[in-house]
Amino acid sequence: MRRIIIIGSSGGNLYNLGGKDPQKLLGEIRTQAKAAGVEIAGIQFIAARGSMDTAGKGTHAEVYCLDAESGTPVVSYTGTLEACNEWVRGTDEALALALQNGQIDGMISMSADPNGANEKVVNAAVEKKVPIVGTGGTSMALISAKGAHVLLTSGTTGTTNRTRAISFVTAFAKHWGITYRPMIGDAAQAGAASDKPWKRINIRGIMMSSLPGFIALALVLALSKIPGLDMLSGVFDVLIKALPVVIAAIAAKQVSDMEEVSVVAGVLAGILSTDGGIIGGMIGGIGAGLLVNVLFRKCIEWKFPTTTVNIIAGGVSGLAAGLIVYYLLAPIALQAGEWVKVLIEGAVSYSPALAGLIAGLLIWPAIIGGVYHAAILPIVLLEMEKTGNSFLGAVDMVGLVMVSAGITLANIISPREKSEATVATPGFLINMGFGTFVEAAYPFMFSNKLVFAGAIVSSGIAGMMVGVFDVRGTAYVPSVMAPLLSNNMLGFIAAMASGLLCSLLITLAANQIAKKKQVQQTGEKINA
C-alpha cells in the first residue's frame, strides 16, 4: 500500500474554499485516498481562524495531526498562529525523517510554508524525489523552485474540497499505475467507490428536492390575488421560467455530486433549457451532471491545473448539455409536458366528479405501493409549472393529508387504547400544520381493515368533491393556507372538510366496534 502525508495550512484563498473547515477538507482527502488503496501516514496542517491573507501572529489557530489509532485528523495543539508555526517546526523533523527513510511515497501540499514551518519536510521530499501534488500558487511555486518532483500544481480558485481531493489522488494513481475510482455521493457515504454517475439518476429524488420551488410559486400566485399585490403576477411569471433552472441544478448536483462545480453546470444547463419546461431542465441537468464527471477526469488525465479543470468541468459541461436541449430537445420536452396536462384536463373535462373519484380512490394504494412519489408527484409538478396549482395536488391534500388528519384525530378523541392517542397526536398536528406526514395514519389503517377501507372511501369522496368544485390546489402547506393557494377557496374548504369528517366518523365507528369486540373477548375468557 502506498503511503502519503499531508502538509500545509488553511491558506488565504483556500480558507474561503474549504480551508475554514479542516475536518471536511482533510476528510475528503482521506475518503478519496481510501478509494485508491492509499494510506495517509501523517498530517501536519495549521488551521487559522481567518484567511492567511489577513491573519497576524496573534490570530488563533490549531494544528491538526494524524491520530495513529483512529486514522483521523485531530487537533494536537492550539494557540496563536505564531505559536502554532513554532510547534510545527518542532514536529517537522519526524515527518522529514520518515521521508528520508523511504517510508513515504507521496506528499500533498496545500498552502504550505516551504521556507518556514514546513521547511524540513519539504526539503526531505525534494531530496528523496518524492512525488508531490498540491495547491497554493505561491507555495507550490517555491516548492517547484527547490527542484521537487511535482506531479500536479494549481491555485485554489474555483476548486472545492472534493475536486481538489480527486485531483490529488488521480495524479498519484496515474503516476503509480494503480486503479482509482472516486468515491462520490451515496457511494462515499457507504464507503464504496463508483465511477458510474448514471446510476445516481433518480427522477423521484430530483422532483422531491425541487418541491420547495413549486410551493414558492404557489405562494406567489396566492399573494398576487390579494388586492394591492397584483404586481406579483410578474414575479409569478419569472418564477415559472426559473423552475427548469432549479430542476437542472438539483439534477446535476445529484448525478455528479461534485459540489459547487456540478451546481454551476446545472444552472448553466437549466438557463439554456427553459424553453423545454421542467422536463427540459431535468434533461439538461442530468446531461450536465454526467458530463461534469467525464470532463473532470479527462482534464486531470491531461494534467490541466485544478482551477482549469473545475472551470472546464463546470462551465463546458453546463454549456454543452444546455445547448443540446436548447437546439434539439426543448420542443420535444415541452410537448411531453403539455401532453400530461392535456391528458389530465381531458379526463376532468369528460367527467370532473368521476375523475376526482377515481383519483381519490387510487391515491392511497399509490402511496402505500410506492408509486406516488415516482409517478403522481412529477405529474403534480408538471401541472403546477403551468398554472401554479394542480388537480392532483388538490386530491393529494383532501384525499391523503385530510384523511390522515381525520384518522389521527379520531384516535385522539376516542382511541381503542389510551396509548394510541399519544401516537396519533403528533401526526395530526403535522398534517394540519404542515400538510405532510400522511404516513401517521398507517399504524391505524394497517391494524384495522375498516379504518383502511374508510381511508380509501373518504379519499374517493373528497376527490369527487374536488372534481365537482373544479378545484386546483396543492399539499405540503399548512391546511389553513391551502385554500388560499387554490383557484376555488370555498370549494377547496368543502373538499378538505369532506375528507377529514368522513375519515373521522368512520374511524370513530371502527374504534367503537373494536372496543366492543375486545370487551366481548375479555368476557368470554373470564367465563371460560
How far apart CA 183 and CA 473 sit, in angstroms, is 42
Phi, psi at residue 477, to the nearest 5°? -135, 160
Lookup: cell for 318? 453546463
Angle (deg, nearest 10), helices 352-368 and 330-350: 120
* pLDDT 10s digits, 21-37: 889 999 999 999 998 99
Separation between Cα atoms, residue 118 and residue 409, nearest integer Å? 67
| Tally of helices (H runs) and strands (E runs) in the chain | 21, 7
Max CA distance (Å), the chain: 97
Residue 390 confidence class, pLDDT cut points 50, 70, 90: confident
Quote the CA–CA distance of 11 and 33 in Å, as a whole number: 22
pLDDT of residue 371: 72
Model pTM? 0.69
CA distance 236 to 345: 22
Are 112 and 136 contacting, i.e. CB atoms less than 8 angstroms apart? yes
Which among 327-331, 366-370, 470-474, 493-497 has the top mean pLDDT?
493-497
- What's the CA gap between 499 and 419, in Å, rounded? 25
Q: Report which of residues 363 and 196 the model is more confident about.
A: 363
Alpha-carbon distance 95 to 47, whole Å?
Answer: 19
Is beta strand 39-48 parallel, antiparallel or unpaired with respect to 3-9?
parallel
pLDDT at 228: 80
Q: SS3 of 119, please?
A: helix
The strand pairing partners of 153, in sequence order, are: 134
Q: What is the DSSP letter of 414?
A: S
Nine cell digits for residue 52: 492567511
What is the separation of C-alpha 294 from the centre of its chain, rounded to a whole number of angstroms?
Answer: 21
Cβ proximity of 241 and 274 under 8 Å: yes
Which residue, chain included where needed, has cell 396543492? 474
Cα 75–chain centre separation: 30
- How many other C-beta atoms can be found within 10 angstroms of the C-beta atom of residue 76? 18
- The mean per-residue pLDDT over the stretch 424-436 comes to 89
Residue 526 is which amino acid? I
Assign a CATH topology to domain 3-195: Rossmann fold (3.40.50)
Angle at the Cα of 351 (from 350 to 352), degrees rounded to 5? Answer: 120
Q: Yes or no: say if 501 and 461 are a contact pair by the CB < 8 Å rule.
A: no
- Asked if the model's pLDDT at residue 474 lies above 70, the reply is yes
pLDDT tens by residue, 260-297? 888 999 999 999 998 888 889 999 999 999 999 888 88
Query: What pLDDT, on a 0 to 100 scale, did the predictor assign at position 213?
Result: 83
Q: Is 393 left (phi over 0), alpha (psi -120 to 50) or beta?
A: alpha
Nearest to 78 by CA among 57, 64, 89: 64
Listed range (67-71, 83-87, 182-186, 524-528) with the worst mean pLDDT: 524-528
CB atoms within 10 A of CB 86: 13
| Residue 157 contacts residue 307 (beta carbons within 8 Å) | yes
Nearest CA-CA partner of 249 in 224, 219, 272, 232: 272
Q: Give the pLDDT confidence of 165-207 residue by residue, as tens digits.
A: 988 998 899 999 998 888 765 444 433 334 567 777 877 778 8
Share of the chain above pLDDT 70, in %: 95
Tell me, what's the pLDDT at 526?
61
For the chain, percent of residues with pLDDT exceeding 90: 39
| Numbered ranges of CATH 3.40.50 in the chain | 3-195
Confidence of residue 15 (pLDDT cuts 50, 70, 90): confident
CA distances from 18 to 59, 158, 260, 408 (A): 18, 11, 11, 46
